[in-house]
Amino acid sequence: MNLAGLGEDKLVAALLRGLPGAHDLLRGPGDDCAVIGRPREKTWRLLKTDCVIEGVHFRPDEDPRKVGWKALARAVSDIAAMAGRPRHALVTLAISPAAELAHAKALYAGLKKCARKYAIAIVGGETARSPGPMFISITLTGEVDSRHCLLRSGGKPGDRLFVTGHLGGSLAGRHLTFQPRVDEALWLARHFPIHAMMDLSDGLGIDLPRLAAASRCGFQINESALPLTPGCIPSQALSDGEDYELLFALAPRSATKLKLLWPRKFPKLPLTEIGALTPPGKSATPLHGYDHFA
């Protein structure tokens, strides 16, 4: 069977079977980041790797500053999804020898801009010759307060589902300029009983079922409540992907308080209740999102 027929999640599951583990691995494959540490430590370490490929994640004629921003910001969004702070980045750039130095420098200018904004140190990396498309792989470490580390798997039936920002239509430009929700995630984790969280990279239609499955829950969403990007229809909010907003499950008793306090703290960023987690096997909403191999 080829990979297109299998789909990404089954491919990953097939590849990761029988992996050697480690005594200090708190969370391995299957969440936004790997979590490393010991249960009683105050701070846990996060590890993430993420790549963008020319022709898949950006067009060859795209502004290289924006491509650099996006490459690093995607990984920052995954650190945010655990309520962590990004720390150290490594950059792997595979590029044609015929490329211009100015192009590579502009790409790094975008990377550095994102690094400065999120207080990330770029501590190393590699350049290699690519015989095909440009390929940028980012490694990002982070730290998270062990009391507030948010996994995908802690959701409970009855939890209310929220998303930040607007969904859909990212290809019109936002997929290159989005702002990872680091401060928002830290604030949420510190002040509210968030049970599960992730960032929306493949679209709510793929990512919400992943969060629900990790939490051994079903889910229901209210399609008419989806915070659509102006000009988008609901199916785009489910399927377009690359929103890089937060999706989280909140204990129902705190929903009213959160809806009251959020707009005071983050007046420019909408927060929307879109549905709830349900007992397992009860999902009623058919959903579709982006599969990397389909």
> DSSP labels for 24-40?
TEEE-BTBSSEEES-TT
Cβ 177 to a second copy shortest distance, Å: 20
Cβ 206 to a second copy shortest distance, Å: 14
For a second copy, which stretch binds (CB under 8 A), given 113-121, 165-173, 179-187, 255-263?
Answer: 113-121
* 8 A C-beta contact, residue 189 and residue 148: yes
Residues in contact with a second copy, counted by CB under 8 A, come to a total of 71
Burial class (CB in 10 A: 0-12, 13-18, 19+), 242: buried
88 binds a second copy (CB under 8 A): yes
186: amino acid identity, one letter: L
CB nearer a second copy, residue 76 or residue 93: 93
Tell me which DSSP letter residue 54 carries. B
* 8 A C-beta contact, residue 210 and residue 198: yes
Cβ 22 to a second copy shortest distance, Å: 3
The whole-angstrom separation of Cα 75 and Cα 264 is 28
Q: Which residues contact 134 (CB under 8 A, 6 or more apart)?
A: 53, 54, 60, 93, 94, 95, 96, 99
For a second copy, which stretch binds (CB under 8 A), given 110-118, 162-170, 261-269, 277-285?
Answer: 110-118
Q: Of 38, 41, 43, 119, which lies in the binding site for a second copy, with binding defined by CB under 8 A?
A: 119
CB nearer a second copy, residue 97 or residue 281: 97
How would you write 131-174 as a 3-class SS string? CCCCEEEEEEEEEEECCCCCCCCCCCCCCEEEEECCECCHHHCH
* 8 A C-beta contact, residue 196 and residue 161: no
135 binds a second copy (CB under 8 A): yes
Cβ 263 to a second copy shortest distance, Å: 32
Cβ 286 to a second copy shortest distance, Å: 24
214 binds a second copy (CB under 8 A): no
CB nearer a second copy, residue 37 or residue 165: 37
Cβ 188 to a second copy shortest distance, Å: 23
Q: Of 37, 64, 82, 137, which lies in the binding site for a second copy, with binding defined by CB under 8 A?
A: 137
Q: Of 39, 40, 42, 97, which lies in the binding site for a second copy, with binding defined by CB under 8 A?
A: 97
Span 44-83, contacts to a second copy by CB under 8 A = 47-51, 53, 55-56
Taking the mean position of all CA atoms in its chain, how far away is CA 279? 25
Cβ 15 to a second copy shortest distance, Å: 5
Span 9-48, contacts to a second copy by CB under 8 A = 11-12, 14-16, 18-22, 25, 28-29, 33-34, 36, 47-48
Region of 245 on the Ramachandran plot (φ > 0 left; ψ -120 to 50 alpha; else beta): beta
133 binds a second copy (CB under 8 A): yes
